[in-house]
Structures are given as C-alpha cells and as structure tokens.
C-alpha cells in the first residue's frame, strides 16, 4: 500500500477542517474495512487518512425522542449488540448481524458503510424503510439529511469534500408495524436486499414502506408497490394474492437493475419479484409489536 | 508520493506481555506480527478479510490482521495463535481439534482456533447453530466444516 499520513483529530470541526485543507488528498478512516481494501489494491490512494475514531464520543449509541442515534464510529458489532438497538430496533440488530463476517463487523462502522456507498450492502436499504436521517458536519456547521439523499451512485455520495457523517438517527417503528428484511446471494456481498415495513390497523395495511437494494447502483424506495398495498386487508394477503403479485411486478419494473458480476438484468428482475413477495409475507407473519 | 510520515511508536500487549514496535501508518497488523515479532502462526491468504486465516484477537474480538492497521493495536491486547497455544486454558480446544481431525493442511487452523476461543469465551455452551453462525466467516478448503463444528462442541463440553 502506498504510504499515507495518519491525522487524528479530537473534534468534528478539526476533522472537517483537515478535510478542507487537504483538498481531496485525504479520506476519512473509521473501520477501514472498505477503504483499506481499495487502497491495498491501488484503486484509491490518499496522502492522509483522518481517523474518525480519535474524536471522543462518536462511538456512542443513545436515545433521542423517538429515535436511536448511532455515532459515526459505532461498529456493526456495537450496533448489533447495543441494548437500545436490540430493544427498539430489533430488525436493525438482525441485519447488522448479517453484514459481511464477524471480523469485518468488529471493525467496520455503520456510518462508514453508508459513506462508502458500496451498492452490494444491506444497511442503506434497511434504513430507507426506517426513514433514518443523517447528521452531517462541515467546517461551518452541520445539517441533517434523509438517508435516501446520501448515496448518489456506486461509491458516490452527496457529501461535500469537507463534510463528514457524524450520526445516524433511526426513528423507532410504531407499534403495529410489521417489518422484515431479506437478503440473497452466493457472493461474499449480497446480490439483493429488500426491506419491508407495513403498518397494520384493524387488519388493514394503513402504510407501507418498501426498499430495494444491491440490484442497482443506489438503494431505493418502491412507491408504486407501496401504493398497491395501502388499504389491503391483511387476511387476503396470502401467498399468490393479486396485490402481492402486483406489488412484486411493479417492484421489478421500478428496480432499474444493472448487470454486474452478481447477474444480468432479467435474473435480478426475477429475484426482485420472488423476494418482494417473500419479504412481504415474512413481514405480515410478524405479530405487529413494532419491528421484529 | 507523499513524504513518508515519521513512523509511529505502538505500545501494546502481545500474548500477555507488554511490547513496543515502530510501524508506518500503512503497515498491516499481520506484517508487524510476522516480521517484527516473528509470529508466523498468523497466516495471510485472501488478504481481503474474507477467509479468516489471518484472524487474531484484538481485545478478545476476532479481526482480520491482513487489513487492520498495526497502529490499531495501540494500548490494546493482541492474542495470536502462539499466545493461545501457550495458555493452559486452551488445551481443551487444541485436543478437540486433534481428536476430531478438524484440520488437514492446517493453514486455516490458527484462525479457526482463535475464532473458536472467542466464541467459547462469550458463550461456554454454544448450540451447533451458534457455532456454525459464529465460525461461518472462517473458511477451510480441505477439512470441511463438520469436524471443526464437532471439535468446538467437544471442547465446550470438555471445559464444563
């Protein structure tokens, strides 16, 4: 690996200022599980890595109103096992357990995963149905963006060159919401990820949030499929039900799949149809005590 | 090329003893362990954190030393297979691996043993599913997994 300097700021402002001063020659480093692989293979080269973990407090997970706030240097393992996450966001805990392997989870961070914007990854897809928000800090202050506004393409984000993600804010799903996440693939990274959260009141789907990831450069919500499900009685939503088939068909149309080493367009559209219905059935099978 | 940064002094606990090394920021942990300390039990294989051959325990948690920088050891405890093997408490796992023929070429074994130790430290009586789930990030290309899972299970029983 090409030599780099290590900068270890102790405040978010210092980190943002160092990014600004480096003018593109520096990258943020937290777990390094993606970044260092790209640097080892020569795909990326930076003169300086800025160690986010040297900023005290950024590893914290805390409650704020109806959300769980996950600091930028919290590892996947820390998020998975955090008591607050397990109690209030059990599906996030489950999905974090499925990320990569134990060694990667022990080092890699949730925030770093989002910022690296690797398309074949689970958290960004799941966080779309939680409607998570991100705290972003720059040299002159901070702003909050929707998680869906972060990733703009494969390995590309909307962050300015001198900005860093400081926290992931995940709203807790309301009681009565039935949620599930499915992933599929034979490679080390997932080929497909689908998240579903269905609000059910008196046996009727009152709100539906669906998200699809990995099959295209950026994870996306599926608004046309969500519309099909709203107003449906859940006792009619059994395997093969027309509303499930229609939601799945629209999802494959809206998936905008791209061919890559995980498969071709037709194959991925087929996966989307099959797994959207399966994911909805799994979500509906939950008892509705919040996510599960 | 950027100017090389002045090398960093890294003080940490290695297999139970305090040590110090001077490394460059880009030095991976495995290179420090193998080349500075001569601990060649830690194996490099895939070099992309997938196979687990380079597994060491950092403050008790398995990490891929092929990619984790050496400076991450600062102020922490690193356990390699050499330190593991020197610890009397490791004998149930070592004997179970031998008794069950849970290795053939042995290249994955240091990582397997350290992953298994980490599991049993956290859960002294894991179910078969828990063993498979915990160990699934460690790849073996000759023995297969059945004997490894059986060995971990037997070691757990023997330690009870």
For A222-238, what is each residue's pLDDT tens digit? 999 999 999 999 999 99
Residue A291 within any structural domain of the chain: no
Q: How confident is the model at residue B160 (pLDDT cuts 50, 70, 90)?
A: confident
Cβ distance B49 to A33 less than 8 Å, yes or no, reads yes
- The enclosing domain of A76 has a CATH number of 3.30.465.10
- Among A92, A137, A88, A115, residue whose Cα is nearest residue A31: A115
For residue A100, what pLDDT is reported?
Answer: 97
Task: Give the domain-ending residue among B61, B80, B99.
Answer: B80
Residue A289 within any structural domain of the chain: no
Tally of CB atoms within 10 A around A58: 21
DSSP letters, A226-288, are HHHHTT-BGGG--TT-HHHHHHHHHHHHHS----BTTB-HHHHHHHHHHHHHHHHHHHHTS-S
Residue in chain A lying closest to B47 (CA): A37
Task: Give the domain-ending residue among B21, B46, B80.
Answer: B80
- The enclosing domain of A27 has a CATH number of 3.30.43.10
Cβ distance B69 to A32 less than 8 Å, yes or no, reads yes
Q: How confident is the model at residue B1 (pLDDT cuts 50, 70, 90)?
A: very low
Residue A23 within any structural domain of the chain: yes
* Chain B partners within 8 Å of A107 (Cβ): 63-64, 68
Cβ distance B49 to A101 less than 8 Å, yes or no, reads yes
- The enclosing domain of B12 has a CATH number of 3.10.20.30
All residues at 6 or more sequence positions from B6 whose CB lies less than 8 Å from its CB, including other chains? none
Does residue A164 share a domain with residue A73?
yes
For residue B144, what pLDDT is reported?
Answer: 85
Residue B3 token pair: 């100017």
Three-state SS string over chain B comes to CCCCCCCEEEEEEECCEEEEEEECCCCEHHHHHHHHCCCCCCCCCCCCCCCCCCEEEECCEEEECCCCEHHHHCCCEEECHHHHHHCHHHHHHHHHHHHCCCCCCCCCHHHHHHHHHHHHHHCCCCCHHHHHHHHCCCCCCCCCCHHHHHHHHHHHHHHC
- The enclosing domain of A206 has a CATH number of 3.30.390.50
- Residue of A103, A109, A189 best to disrupt the B interface, most CBs of B under 10 A: A103
- Nearest-CA distance B160 → chain A (Å): 25
Does residue B154 share a domain with residue B94?
yes
Residue in chain A lying closest to B137 (CA): A101
DSSP 3-state helix, strand, coil percentages of chain A (rounded to 5)?
Answer: 35, 25, 35
Residue B100 within any structural domain of the chain: yes
> How many domains does chain B fold into?
2
Cβ burial of A236 (10 Å; 0-12, 13-18, 19+) is: exposed
* Chain A partners within 8 Å of B70 (Cβ): none
- The enclosing domain of B107 has a CATH number of 1.10.150.120
Residue in chain A lying closest to B57 (CA): A103
pLDDT in tens, B39-63: 999 999 999 999 999 999 999 999 9
What distance in Å separates the CA atoms of residue B153 and residue B76, rounded to the nearest whole number? Answer: 29
- Among A141, A190, A135, A140, residue whose Cα is nearest residue A166: A135
- Among A173, A93, A163, A107, residue whose Cα is nearest residue A135: A163
For residue A292, what pLDDT is reported?
Answer: 43
For residue B5, what pLDDT is reported?
Answer: 61
Does residue B66 share a domain with residue B130?
no
Cβ distance B25 to A101 less than 8 Å, yes or no, reads no
Does residue B61 share a domain with residue B110?
no
Cβ distance B5 to A77 less than 8 Å, yes or no, reads no
Task: Give the domain-ending residue among B55, B80, B105.
Answer: B80
Residue in chain B lying closest to A101 (CA): B137
Does residue B95 share a domain with residue B74?
no
Residue in chain B lying closest to A47 (CA): B2
- Residue of A41, A46, A59, A102 best to disrupt the B interface, most CBs of B under 10 A: A102
Does residue B143 share a domain with residue B108?
yes
Nearest CB to B48; choose among A1, A37, A48: A37
Does residue B52 share a domain with residue B13?
yes
**Which residue(s) pair with B144 in the sheet?**
none
Task: Give the domain-ending residue among A150, A171, A192.
Answer: A171
Does residue A44 share a domain with residue A12?
yes
> How many domains does chain A fold into?
3
pLDDT beneath 70, residues of chain A:
288-292
Does residue A198 share a domain with residue A160?
no
Does residue B124 share a domain with residue B153?
yes
Residue A292 within any structural domain of the chain: no
Nearest CB to A103; choose among B4, B28, B55: B55
Q: How confident is the model at residue B157 (pLDDT cuts 50, 70, 90)?
A: very high
As for the ipTM of the complex, it is 0.96
CA angle A224, A229, A232 (to 5 degrees): 150
For residue A138, what pLDDT is reported?
Answer: 96
* Chain A partners within 8 Å of B134 (Cβ): 102
Does residue B32 share a domain with residue B47?
yes
pLDDT in tens, A194-216: 999 999 999 999 999 999 999 99
For residue A200, what pLDDT is reported?
Answer: 96
Residue A95 within any structural domain of the chain: yes
Q: What is the CA radius of gyration of chain B?
A: 16
Residue A290 within any structural domain of the chain: no
For residue B143, what pLDDT is reported?
Answer: 85
Does residue A262 share a domain with residue A233?
yes
Residue B68 within any structural domain of the chain: yes
Does residue B120 share a domain with residue B92?
yes
Residue B35 within any structural domain of the chain: yes
What distance in Å separates the CA atoms of residue A166 and residue A66, rounded to the nearest whole number? Answer: 19
DSSP label at A153?
E
pLDDT in tens, B101-155: 999 999 999 999 999 999 999 999 999 999 999 999 999 999 889 999 999 999 9
Query: What is the domain extent for residue A40?
Result: 5-51
What distance in Å separates the CA atoms of residue A174 and residue A128, rounded to the nearest whole number? Answer: 15
Query: What is the domain extent for residue B64?
Result: 8-80
Does residue B92 share a domain with residue B41?
no
Residues in A lying within 8 Å of B, measured between beta carbons: 1-6, 32-33, 36-37, 39-40, 47-49, 77, 100-104, 106-107, 188
Q: Helices B146-159 and B91-99 meet at what angle, rounded to 10?
A: 140
All residues at 6 or more sequence positions from B84 whose CB lies less than 8 Å from its CB, including other chains? B90, B113, B114, B117
Nearest CB to B62; choose among A40, A100, A103: A103
- Nearest-CA distance B24 → chain A (Å): 8
For residue A291, what pLDDT is reported?
Answer: 53
């Amino acid at each position: 690996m090409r030599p780099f300097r290590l900068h270890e700021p102790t405040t978010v402002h210092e980190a943002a200022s160092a990014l600004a001063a480096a003018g593109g020659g520096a990258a943020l480093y937290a777990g390094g599980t993606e970044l260092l692989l790209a640097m080892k293979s020569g795909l990326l080269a930076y003169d300086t890595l800025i160690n986010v973990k040297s900023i005290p407090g950024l590893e914290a997970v805390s409650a704020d109103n109806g959300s769980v706030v996950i600091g930028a240097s919290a590892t996947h393992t820390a998020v998975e096992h955090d008591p607050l996450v397990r109690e209030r966001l059990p599906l996030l805990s489950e999905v974090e357990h499925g990320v990569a392997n134990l060694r990667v989870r022990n080092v890699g961070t949730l925030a770093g995963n989002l910022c690296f914007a690797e398309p074949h990854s689970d958290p960004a897809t799941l966080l779309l149905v939680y409607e998570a928000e991100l705290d972003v800090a720059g040299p002159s202050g901070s702003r909050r963006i929707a998680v869906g506004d972060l990733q703009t393409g494969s390995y590309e984000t909307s962050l300015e060159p001198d900005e860093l993600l400081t926290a992931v804010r995940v709203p807790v799903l309301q009681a009565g919401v039935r949620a599930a996440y499915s992933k599929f693939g034979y490679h080390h990274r997932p080929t497909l990820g689908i998240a579903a959260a269905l609000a059910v009141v008196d046996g009727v789907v009152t709100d539906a949030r669906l998200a699809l990831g990995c099959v295209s450069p950026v994870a996306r919500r599926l608004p046309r499929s969500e519309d099909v499900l709203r107003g449906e009685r859940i006792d009619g939503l059994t395997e093969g039900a027309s509303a499930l088939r229609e939601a799945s068909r629209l999802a494959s149309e809206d998936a905008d799949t791209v061919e890559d080493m995980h498969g071709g367009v037709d194959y991925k559209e087929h996966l989307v149809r099959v797994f959207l219905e399966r994911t909805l059935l799994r979500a509906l099978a939950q008892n509705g005590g919040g996510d599960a | 090329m950027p100017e090389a940064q002045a090398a960093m002094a890294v003080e940490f606990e290695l297999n139970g003893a305090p040590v110090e090394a001077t490394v460059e920021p880009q030095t991976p942990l495995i290179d420090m362990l193998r080349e500075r300390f001569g601990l060649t039990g830690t194996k490099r294989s895939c070099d992309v954190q997938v196979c687990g051959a380079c597994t060491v325990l950092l403050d008790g948690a398995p990490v891929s030393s092929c990619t984790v920088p050496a400076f991450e050891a600062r102020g922490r405890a690193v356990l390699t297979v050499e330190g593991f093997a020197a610890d009397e408490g490791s004998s149930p796992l070592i004997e179970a691996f031998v008794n069950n023929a849970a290795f053939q070429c042995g290249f994955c074994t240091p990582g397997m043993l350290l992953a298994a130790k980490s599991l049993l430290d956290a859960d002294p009586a894991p179910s078969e599913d828990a063993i498979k789930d915990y160990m699934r990030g460690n790849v073996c290309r000759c023995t297969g997994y059945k004997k490894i899972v059986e060995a971990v299970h037997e070691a757990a029983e023997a330690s009870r």
